[in-house]
Structure 1
Amino acid sequence: MDDPYPSITLLVEISQVSTSYLLVNGLIFILLLLGSALVSGSEVAFFSLQHDDLKALKEDVDPNAQLVIKLVETPRKLLSTILILNNLINIGMVTLATFVTWSIFGTSASGLTLILVQTVGITFAIVFFGEIVPKVYANNARISFSLLMAKSLNFFSILLSPLSSFLMRTSNVIEKRIEKKGYSLSVDELHHALEMTSESTTEEEKDILKGIVNFGALSVKQVMQSRMDITAVDIDMTFHELMDKINKSGFSRIPVYSETIDHIQGILYIKDLLNHIEKEEDFNWQELIRKGFFVPENKKVDGLLKDFQKKRVHMAIVVDEYGGTSGLVTLEDLIEEIIGEINDEFDDGEDIKYQEIDPQTFIFEGKVSLNDFCKKLELDLNVFDEVKGESESLGGLLLELNNKLPKSGSKIYFENFEFTIIAVDTKKIKKVKVHIKDPEAKNINHNTD
């Protein structure tokens, strides 16, 4: 009866295998493992090349550098070549190991022997020496590794071209037949990914990237200047009254209304007045008014930016569902959502009026938008979404939380925020002290007193 487990008798069979046979096959296996390492490292090296790396390679006269650029210009073909080559090498190693195992232990060797030699030993060799080590090295030496492998990959790209082309065509057919599903990454997940970027990325660059991530999710209502902050002129003003208003405002474009701010007639460009500065008071400046651009409150800012580019305008009047004027948004407002505040010679240095008492206590005007409030305190832009209702200002949020106009000195709580009303009139909250009780606290129920 056959012994189902490896026994001492197998040592007799091992001794019958020649040393030269083991050396030759061992050398072949090591060469295949080296090839697998080089090919695996190539995948990381080529596909981690950055813009500056490619720019330097394009300027390099080294033929290998030009081959790298040639290969990178067809990424799908390059990836197919690498994957095919890597799998062929790995299959070759497994096949070689199988035959050598049979030669040593015999074809009737137990399954346990084959599992120990192939599954454990070969898998460890391929994963550690053929994948992990070369990819870690290639990530740190991507340019030199790419130059090293350029000629080899170019040769195999040509040699394996029929097979890689067939596989690419097949994958294209499958992609067209399968319903494409988009990524469902949240803004928080993208922010977390940005925080994990390399140390070479500065805080300013991270802030810009975060601004780009947030940009597509913002609505016009979140970034606009409210109607209370709009500087506009009455269409019935005399020319001298208009010039006095313009000189005090410092704006290059001013909305023009009839009777009330809800009836915007158009936009007056100050540059159109330059040739008429010396005109008399009866000058009909109304002829210079240009047609206004109106957008709804719920329009996304990325779509508005495209409209600005297409229509070649820098300002839009935001209207509510009833057609009344809700606010005003400019190209500068949109750009500031990405790169931060832009101050010119007419700005006071800080558009958002606030005072920092200590790292956890601040004083804000009630009219500040929730979007700007969150950015100043580096909060998640969606932190108040569940309780703000239709409000887009800090004062509006507090009215939603309190259900009535609070008195001066009242405190309103929400999660880890304590809002103290400093100034209030008969219509609105004018000034608020904000205290963050515990930056680490996440779940504090809101109430008022």
Structure 2
Amino acid sequence: MSLGFVVTYNSFTIELAFLLVAIILLLIVSGLISGSEIAYFSLTLSDKNKLNKKNTKSGVEAVRLLSKSDYLLSTILFARGILNVAVVILSAYIINSIVDFGQTPILGFVCQIVVIALFLLLFGQIIPRILAAHYPVKFVLFMAIPLSLLVKVFRPLSYLLIRSSRLFGKRILRRSIHNISMNDLSDAIDIAEPKSQENRSILKGIVEFVNTEASEIMTPRLDVVGVDISANYDALKKVVLESGYSRILAYDDSLDNVKGILYIKDLLPYLDEKSSFRWASLIRTPYFVPENKKINDLLEEFQTKKIHLAVVVDEYGGTCGIVSLEDILEEIVGEISDESDYDEEKDYVKLDENTYLFEGKTLLNDFVKVFEEAEDVFAEVKGEAETLAGLLLEIKGDFLQKGEELVYGGFTFKVDSIEKRRIKKVKVTIQNKDEEE
């Protein structure tokens, strides 16, 4: 059965061989330029800092190109467009010279499109872009000098393009500013040199603030002080005196059934009341938040509702802990101490230059503030842990015994004391580099 068309093949001449070599070279150059777009415009602030430290000619040129990103981008677009057009024309010429589709020009046209598009996408776009994304700094340095020459060649055309797009410049600028990620800001703080470590800590706290959840900074359930709503007034006053807190939870039967929050100042007019005094009438309506609540949103709600304490609940409605306005502010400015804070209540004590004694309930957020390098070290292993004790359980995958030691990420952890299966204190030792080796 005849398909209705005849295809004939012509001989491959030396002229076509030279044109094929030219196409290969054009594809390579087009791929390098296409990869440059990804490499230059996906650099992180850390990558740019590395380039600034390069004293080589390519390093200097790369920094100069980045300072004129509008000219760089327009040059890449012009050069890539011209190269791709040249590849298409030469490829079509070679295909038509080798293959004669006779009475089926449409078939020939479709074949040319498929073959040319495949090679352009594969070798001119996909492969170089993947390489550039994996090795952006190396790619930038390799292409710095060639691109500098191209920028000079296409400068007149680039100037016209940039001038004509000025109307859209402000909108593009605003969009680029809004697209700066928190990681970029964090990198910028690491690169910069604040006048003091305190300033750096505050800046880092502000950047990380929007990504922090209530469960990460809350006082856990086991440490929450509360009183049963059925307790008499004398029992309540005893709890208040022993805790020293200005606010405590009032619950019915268990902490999973919180009825309200008692402000101790509300008791002042009734200090001389008898044991039968109905103090429960003074409790205020509790404010409940989910454990994944972002603390920047919670801070705004605290300000709007003029409250200072919220009860954190899990997906089943059970009480996980409490979070206060002070807890949130401490994420920005660091530890806030007042007259009710005693030395013995600190989360840790420094025993010597490399050894610390921590409370097992110390939040991981607070732990990494003491050892800044610990944030990256424990990022992968911490899992759902929110406290130092939880971190040790994640590392071992089982319960620990008193005196047991764990070594991880340049730190030695020794369980100093345990109370009712709960790790109370942990001795943390920073390993010397000699010991690590």
* TM-score normalised per structure 2: 0.57
Q: Distance in 2 between matches of 1:225 and 1:195?
A: 30
Q: Partner letter of residue 220 of structure 1?
A: A
Q: Distance in 1 between matches of 2:178 and 2:330?
A: 32
Residue number among 213, 216, 233 corresponding to 2:227 in the alignment: 233
Once the two structures are TM-superposed, the CA of residue 263 in structure 1 deviates from its matched residue by 1.3
| 3-state SS, counterpart of residue 381 of structure 1 | helix
Preserved contact between residue 252 and residue 270 of structure 1 (Cα < 8 Å) = yes
Q: Which residue of 2 aligns with 1:12?
A: none
Q: Distance in 2 between matches of 1:403 and 1:409?
A: 17
Aligned CA distance change for structure 1 residues 381 and 222 (closer, same or farther; 3 Å): farther
Q: Partner letter of residue 188 of structure 2?
A: A
Q: Distance in 1 between matches of 2:418 and 2:243?
A: 27
Aligned CA distance change for structure 1 residues 171 and 429 (closer, same or farther; 3 Å): same
Q: Partner letter of residue 171 of structure 1?
A: G
Q: Distance in 2 between matches of 1:238 and 1:297?
A: 32
Residue deviations 1:379-438 (CA, integer Å, cap 9, x gap): 453542321222211111111221211222222122212212222345222222212214
Aligned CA distance change for structure 1 residues 332 and 441 (closer, same or farther; 3 Å): farther
Residue deviations 1:271-314 (CA, integer Å, cap 9, x gap): 22222223222221111111101111111111111111111110
Aligned CA distance change for structure 1 residues 298 and 175 (closer, same or farther; 3 Å): same
Once the two structures are TM-superposed, the CA of residue 256 in structure 1 deviates from its matched residue by 0.5
Q: Distance in 2 between matches of 1:166 and 1:323?
A: 59
Residue number among 168, 179, 182 corresponding to 2:179 in the alignment: 182
2:403 is the alignment partner of 1:409: yes
Q: Distance in 2 between matches of 1:205 and 1:266?
A: 38
Q: Which residue of 2 aligns with 1:388?
A: 382
Once the two structures are TM-superposed, the CA of residue 169 in structure 1 deviates from its matched residue by 4.0
Once the two structures are TM-superposed, the CA of residue 168 in structure 1 deviates from its matched residue by 5.8
Q: Distance in 2 between matches of 1:309 and 1:439?
A: 47
Once the two structures are TM-superposed, the CA of residue 167 in structure 1 deviates from its matched residue by 7.0
Q: Distance in 1 between matches of 2:422 and 2:182?
A: 38
Preserved contact between residue 217 and residue 365 of structure 2 (Cα < 8 Å) = yes
2:287 is the alignment partner of 1:290: no
2:321 is the alignment partner of 1:327: yes
Could you tell me which runs of 5 or more consecutive residues in structure 2 were left unpaired when the two chains were aligned.
Answer: 1-67, 69-147, 153-162
Could you tell me which runs of 5 or more consecutive residues in structure 1 were left unpaired when the two chains were aligned.
Answer: 1-82, 84-118, 124-164, 445-449
Q: Partner letter of residue 182 of structure 1?
A: N
Q: Distance in 1 between matches of 2:171 and 2:205?
A: 37
| 3-state SS, counterpart of residue 273 of structure 2 | coil
Residue deviations 1:145-201 (CA, integer Å, cap 9, x gap): xxxxxxxxxxxxxxxxxxxx997644357679x899712352xx54442244456x3
Aligned CA distance change for structure 1 residues 439 and 330 (closer, same or farther; 3 Å): farther
Q: Partner letter of residue 183 of structure 1?
A: I
Q: Distance in 2 between matches of 1:336 and 1:416?
A: 27
Once the two structures are TM-superposed, the CA of residue 439 in structure 1 deviates from its matched residue by 6.3
2:191 is the alignment partner of 1:193: no
Q: How does 1:23-172 map to 2 (within 5 A)?
A: 169-171=167-169
Q: Partner letter of residue 265 of structure 2?
A: K
Preserved contact between residue 402 and residue 416 of structure 2 (Cα < 8 Å) = yes
Preserved contact between residue 318 and residue 328 of structure 1 (Cα < 8 Å) = yes
Identity %: 41
* TM-score normalised per structure 1: 0.56
Q: Partner letter of residue 429 of structure 1?
A: I
Q: Partner letter of residue 360 of structure 1?
A: N
Q: Distance in 1 between matches of 2:304 and 2:279?
A: 28
Once the two structures are TM-superposed, the CA of residue 269 in structure 1 deviates from its matched residue by 1.3
Q: Distance in 1 between matches of 2:294 and 2:261?
A: 22
Once the two structures are TM-superposed, the CA of residue 319 in structure 1 deviates from its matched residue by 0.9
Once the two structures are TM-superposed, the CA of residue 204 in structure 1 deviates from its matched residue by 2.4
Residue deviations 1:48-84 (CA, integer Å, cap 9, x gap): xxxxxxxxxxxxxxxxxxxxxxxxxxxxxxxxxxx9x
Q: Distance in 2 between matches of 1:173 and 1:195?
A: 29
Preserved contact between residue 405 and residue 428 of structure 1 (Cα < 8 Å) = no
Aligned CA distance change for structure 1 residues 174 and 235 (closer, same or farther; 3 Å): closer
Residue number among 256, 263, 266 corresponding to 1:272 in the alignment: 266
Once the two structures are TM-superposed, the CA of residue 264 in structure 1 deviates from its matched residue by 0.9
2:214 is the alignment partner of 1:220: yes
Q: Which residue of 2 aligns with 1:38?
A: none
Q: How does 1:370-385 map to 2 (within 5 A)?
A: 370-385=364-379
Q: Distance in 1 between matches of 2:433 and 2:204?
A: 21
User: How many corresponding residue pairs?
Assistant: 280
2:308 is the alignment partner of 1:314: yes
| 3-state SS, counterpart of residue 198 of structure 2 | helix
Q: Distance in 2 between matches of 1:169 and 1:285?
A: 67
The alignment's C-alpha RMSD in Å is 3.2
Residue deviations 1:199-234 (CA, integer Å, cap 9, x gap): 6x3332222112111211211111111111111111
Q: Which residue of 2 aligns with 1:366?
A: 360
